[in-house]
Amino acid sequence: MVDTGKKLPTSRRALASAVVRLGPRVFPLVRANRVAKGDVLGVAVIAGIQAGKRASEWIPLAHPISLDVVRVRPRLDRKTLSVVIEAEARTRAATGVEMEAMVAAAAAALALYDMVKGVDKGVRIERVMLIEKSGGRSGTWTRARSRS
């Protein structure tokens, strides 16, 4: 674990995403909120928030930090029959919140899979990644936009 004891707390923010490819059988059910297990997107949001708050329990060398906010926003993409999940974490601390945002996105995607696996086990979770971060010694970083 990195020693952050001599670092000053600063405002920090991270935005991460995950993509869940649903396919033609599941997408309309999620869109109409007609999956037998219940509110797929609602459960994904709660799972992501809950996991983001406990990221240090998922990631062995991550520091437990106090979070100001964890937001999880799923968006249906009709063109790709996917759910795009964005997760944001913010804090004022001596260490960053990239892992909190990424864990929130990953957990939301996993919960979404769990909600729909009874309909189609072929659903895929793709591209869990950091989109941007700000604050701390390294400043602001933004992922270059790609066409994939």
Residues catalogued as catalytic: 114
| CA 88 vs CA 71, 72, 121: distances in Å | 5, 7, 28
| CA 77 vs CA 20, 85, 145: distances in Å | 10, 10, 18
What H or E segment, with its residue span, contains residue 90? Answer: strand 82-93
